A and B are shown apart, each in its own frame.
Chain A
Amino acid sequence: MVKKIGILALQGNFQNHKLILDHLGVESTYVRYSSNLDHINGLIIPGGESTTMTKLIDKAGLYESIVSFAAKNPILGTCAGLIMMADNAMDDRVNTLKLLDIDVERNASGRQIHSLVDTLTINYNDVQKKIDVTFIRAPKIVRYGNNVNIIAKYKGEPCAVQSGMHVGLSFHPELNGISIFHKIAFNNIINNRQELHAA
């Protein structure tokens, strides 16, 4: 069976993530129902509004199923996706999935007028690379546990983290056509695909 990545498509910029996966030659599908999780090998939680996602995850009965999916499969979250993956978003309006041992502060970078594109240096295994990414009303990671690996920092603070199989970003690489975080999070799936292509 060809491995497939799901993109949570309740609200937000799920289409931008599909374009990245298409570009990588990886099969993808939108996830709106629990049953969609049965046929995928990884999940992306996109940007959008975490208060809206909280309501819709609840209405769609997806909370428990995403948590059990995450026990065996990798998840990548960007911006609101990172907030949803956090242990604590310090806000009653958001019911997080507790997949990353981090606490986040929503909209910590301010309103839209403070949103920006900037250059980050990522450090992952032996890879060191400069990339441009977009921060939109971005959250901040205000606490992280001992087992959390910092992949990138912005102005001295962690903005890209990995914990176990899961990767969370406070920014949007997908708005700049950057796919390195998708490759890191879905290492197994994407490499398998490339091997298939080679064969």
Chain B
Amino acid sequence: MSKGSFDVKVGLAEMLKGGVIMDVTDAKQAKIAEDAGAVAVMALERIPADIRADGGIARMSDPAMIKDIQNTVSIPVMAKCRIGHFAEAQILEALEIDFIDESEVLTPADEKNHIWKHSFKVPFVCGCRNLGEALRRIGEGAALIRTKGEAGSGNIIEAVRHMREVQSNIKKLTKMDDDELMAESKDMGAPFSLVQQVSNLGRLPVPNFAAGGVATPADASLMMQLGAETVFVGSGIYKSDDPASRAKAIVEAVTFFEDSDKLLHVSTGLKPAMKGLDISEIPEDQLLQERGW
């Protein structure tokens, strides 16, 4: 019998495919997310757009709030800890959280080291901007990868950049000869065995989701068509004018991501989306995607 093995962790990530994972800040929002058809919720005190506006140090959420959400919904509940903050992760594990997001949305706790995720029984999801970063996180034990995008921006451009980067890095590896892989592993700063594995599989060894900037059903479809297997939506839902309708529309857009008639139908008549930010309006030292390496 094996509990908490890497395969069991990836197993839950497999079940979340083709779904939408929604950021929620209280039990009421969590209920709306579940009713809309979310496959999981991410419990956090402030959504990324507010973290960005408020400034200060963003930390793990109050366990009481997370517990309230766990008691309200029947779908998996995820929560964020700071990059490198394994003590926050230990608390989340003791809470029996279903997935821990070691997230650049919170203020990093360690400039150099991410959490050694293999020593936990609960699975971790981590962000990446390219294949090297994804494989470093998987090497540390992440059971699920999401492209970072730029959280709280309501702007899809960074999510697209990161997903395209990962996919083109993967394509490149599949065309390489065995004797080229070691040099590539050195250049990417990624574990050789994982580089070899990706070269053989033609995909990441764990599911690959998209995050950071999804605000519309069309954004969700775009990320799925670019190779995402599920979409995280943070500020995009609760910063819009009618969160429940928008949440439902994005759920349908992910399932029917290639069906343009369906996409037209679910995109029609929604109240305004979140306003969003041009990436150039964000001071460089406030780009969340730069956190972690």
Contacts and interface: CB of A to CB of B under 8 A. Distances in A.
B255 interface: yes
Interface string B216-245: 000000000000000000000000000000
B7 A117 contact: yes
Given A32-B255, A51-B75, A113 B93 contact: yes
A12 B74 contact: no
B37 A112 contact: no
A148 B113 CA distance: 54
Chain A interface residue bracket vs B: 35 or more
Nearest to A106: B74
Interface stretch (B12-20, B55-63, B183-191): B12-20
Contacts of B38: 52
A136 B12 contact: yes
Contact of A112 (B99, B248, B252, B254): B99
B4 interface: yes
A110 interface: yes
A11 B96 contact: no
Given A115-B8, A116-B1, A13 B39 contact: no
B98 A56 contact: no
A52 B251 contact: yes
A175 B96 contact: no
A11 B11 contact: no
A158 interface: no
Interface in A140-196: 172, 175
B86 to A, nearest CB: 16
Given A12-B18, A15-B17, A49-B16, 6 more contacts: A12-B17, A107-B74, A113-B122, A117-B1, A117-B2, A117-B5
